[in-house]
Structure 1
Amino acid sequence: MDAVRVAVVTSAAGLAHDQDLPSIVAALRAAGLAAEPVRWDAARPARARYELAVIRSTWDYVERLDAFLTWADATAAGTRLWNPAPVVRWNSDKHYLRELAGYGVPVVPTRILEPGEPCTPADFDRAHGVVVKPAISAGAVDTARYRPGRSADAARHARTLLERGRSVLVQPYLPRIAEGERALVFVGGAFSHAIRKEPLLTEPGVIDNDRAPHLGVVPHRPTGAEVRTALAALAAVPDPRALLFARVDLVPADTGEPLVLELELIEPNLFLDTDPAALDRLVAAVAARARARGPDG
């Protein structure tokens, strides 16, 4: 029997800079799969040549979101795509935080401003300041935090985004984020490993689109509350059984309660180098789906 053909989906930037990509491809090949890296925007679509497509480092998807979502739908029509196209579409817009909150998942309190809505400094008056970010973004692009008393600056930032037709998230700045963001990684539906990293928005009032997205990464042993919160968030995802991989980013509230900052279900950094078994878990999960023939395979 021929080996199952697997496209490990990336981008031009991913081919150049994704440090995990070569090891993932090599490990999949060692497991008996015919794996190779493939740009999502390649001239010939992945569905024409592969039985599986696993999204890994499609780092330019936000800049070309409509084209990327069209690609995901088209690819899923001809092969098995992970994560699935409906999950990719749902996770591409941070309006999903409102949905999670509706299910009772503890999330960072979030107000969403829509283009055409009025926007005044009063909307940004919080005890410890605010964070302003687009609803569709990755890597903290076009995101900044503002100190108390700088509400006019925060409003100006939001209006700039709104005038470009972009929805805007307004969130309170949580001082205990200085203790570090937590990221819990799940593979094949089960908890794999976790990390803690330094907060990104250390310079108030600064939009730095060239900042490194992951600083000071160290392994982290999550608390029971952190695991429960992450599982509650994943349970609210459309068809959570279909998730091959997931990363749940958490920050502590003033009380210490873990709050969901984001769900990363499209092309997250899985921090495979922080746990010696992480790559094996990912390969095993891909291999299991490669050999499955059911609708969820």
Structure 2
Amino acid sequence: MARIALASSASHVDDAELDLLRRAVQDLGHDAAVEVWDDDAVDWHDYALTVVRTTWDYTDRHDEFLAWTRRVPRLRNRSDVIAWNTHKTYLRDLARAGCPVIPTAWDVTDADVLATHADAWGVGVGAAEWVVKPAVSAGSRDTARWTDADDALSHSRDLVESGRTAMLQPYVASVDSDGETAVLFAGGEYSHAVVKGAMLTQGEGVRDDRDSRERITPTVATDAQIDVARRALRAAGDALGGGLDLLYARVDLVTSPEGTPQVIELELTEPSLFLPYVDGAAERFAAAITSTVNSLGRV
């Protein structure tokens, strides 16, 4: 038996997926506990493994969170992976490695610069829709979909002026009809996939209460989707200089205008794994936790 910590934020210790994973880990004979990541009373050295899970308040305390990841022994995913993945400039690394990603411009505050990017992407400034969001974010916070380029620029400027890195992307129309496909990996192996319905609505601006509208449907990832997801994971490994030793991974894909899978996000920090939606998913991740513990050696 090993002692396993599932790290959470104080406001998400009762998350249903977290409890499902905890029970699946216990069913394998381990002692699994939910611990709050910023609770100074927790001795993380007491655990054979700490798994980052519902630490969803980290975006407002990014530096503090990264410092915590560096202090915790036997953390998965690893602290260097998390540091790289919690800033969405990682998309640059994926693109440089030839992985298909949504075109992204950074810190755009000038209309001429936006027009240059739009031309390079083959979209019309006046006809295109835009998504603007901060590079450190979760759950669509401070994210919006704009039909007017001036509104998109204003949003991007606001983020830059507040000291954050702003991302500007063309809105992918297929999301409205097909949603996003999340491809999940446990211990490096494909586990399951779900389709997430569109979250951003035309004309609503910046909102932080979209979780209630999330629609999740189980699906089977296509060979092409799994291939692109694996390419993204390989590119992440190359960017970090070697094997990632990932316990969990989620690759979010959309369908490009050409009809091929395209990476919108690579989630290696604290993604929802959608365990309640797919039979056996919690058990697969619990088994991956056991394998990781065995590889590290128990305490």
TM-score in terms of structure 2 length: 0.90
Match for residue 5 of structure 1 among 3, 6, 9: 3
State the Cα RMSD in Å: 1.8
Whole-angstrom CA distance in 2 between matches of 1:162 and 1:196 = 32
Within 5 Å, give how 1:129-278 maps onto structure 2.
129-147=129-147, 150-178=148-176, 179-212=178-211, 215-237=214-236, 238=240, 239-278=242-281
Q: CA deviation at 1:111?
A: 0.9
CA contact (8 A) 2:196 2:217 kept: yes
CA contact (8 A) 1:40 1:58 kept: yes
Match for residue 67 of structure 1 among 64, 67, 70: 64
Amino acid in structure 2 at the alignment position of 1:170: L
CA contact (8 A) 1:83 1:245 kept: yes
Higher relative contact order (CA 8 A, sep 6+): 2
Q: CA deviation at 1:224?
A: 1.4
Whole-angstrom CA distance in 1 between matches of 2:191 and 2:90 = 24
Amino acid in structure 2 at the alignment position of 1:146: W
Amino acid in structure 2 at the alignment position of 1:289: T
1:99 corresponding residue in structure 2: 93
Whole-angstrom CA distance in 1 between matches of 2:86 and 2:244 = 19
Whole-angstrom CA distance in 2 between matches of 1:293 and 1:218 = 35
Q: CA deviation at 1:204?
A: 2.9
SS in structure 2 at match of 1:8: strand
Within 5 Å, give how 1:28-39 maps onto structure 2.
28-39=25-36
Amino acid in structure 2 at the alignment position of 1:33: H
Which 10-residue stretch deviates more, 45-54 or 266-275? 45-54
Which 10-residue stretch deviates more, 100-109 or 194-203? 194-203
CA contact (8 A) 2:86 2:269 kept: yes
Q: CA deviation at 1:209?
A: 0.8
Match for residue 84 of structure 1 among 60, 75, 78: 78
Q: CA deviation at 1:120?
A: 2.8
Q: Deviations over 1:9-56 (max 9, x none)?
A: 11111113x111222112212211121000000122442321210011
Same amino acid, percent of matched pairs: 39
CA contact (8 A) 1:188 1:243 kept: yes
Whole-angstrom CA distance in 1 between matches of 2:245 and 2:60 = 26
Amino acid in structure 1 at the alignment position of 2:38: D
Whole-angstrom CA distance in 2 between matches of 1:246 and 1:214 = 24
Whole-angstrom CA distance in 2 between matches of 1:108 and 1:123 = 16
Whole-angstrom CA distance in 2 between matches of 1:287 and 1:74 = 22
CA contact (8 A) 1:200 1:213 kept: no
Amino acid in structure 2 at the alignment position of 1:119: D
Q: CA deviation at 1:215?
A: 1.9
Q: CA deviation at 1:216?
A: 1.9
Whole-angstrom CA distance in 2 between matches of 1:156 and 1:118 = 8
Amino acid in structure 1 at the alignment position of 2:103: P
Amino acid in structure 2 at the alignment position of 1:104: G
SS in structure 2 at match of 1:137: coil
Amino acid in structure 2 at the alignment position of 1:34: D
Whole-angstrom CA distance in 1 between matches of 2:213 and 2:5 = 26
Amino acid in structure 2 at the alignment position of 1:123: L
Whole-angstrom CA distance in 2 between matches of 1:226 and 1:293 = 31
SS in structure 2 at match of 1:56: strand
Q: CA deviation at 1:189?
A: 0.2
Q: CA deviation at 1:225?
A: 1.1
Whole-angstrom CA distance in 1 between matches of 2:164 and 2:212 = 22
Give the gaps of 5 or more residues in structure 2: none
Q: CA deviation at 1:240?
A: 4.3
When the two structures are aligned, how many residues end up with a matched partner? 284
1:22 equivalent to 2:19? Answer yes
TM-score in terms of structure 1 length: 0.91
